[in-house]
Amino acid sequence: MAIINQFVTLASHLVFIGLSYHMLISLFDWAKIIKNPIENTGKLKLFLLFISIALGYLISSFVLAVLAFGQNMASSIS
């Protein structure tokens, strides 16, 4: 059971990191915010990757905590 839980946790983290990266890339026009976007493309992508890792991990941890809370509530009621 612990291996399944760890796999679900890893999959959740990766999915939410991917979703947050996609949302950061598609929702904002970074060329308007950053100076010389052609020269700083690599730096911008690396920055967005780090931000998306932090944001995705935070969202995933929240969702997993809510699910664990719901399971605990359901088991305590039964």
Provide the whole-model pTM. Answer: 0.86
Run means of pLDDT, 10 residues per run, the chain, 78 residues: 93 98 91 80 92 98 96 90
* Number of domains present in the structure of the chain: 1
Q: What is the DSSP string of the chain?
A: -HHHHHHHHHHHHHHHHHHHHHHHHHH--HHHHSSSTTTTHHHHHHHHHHHHHHHHHHHHHHHHHHHHHHHHHHHHH-
**Structural domain harbouring 66:** 2-77
Q: What is the pLDDT of residue 4?
A: 93
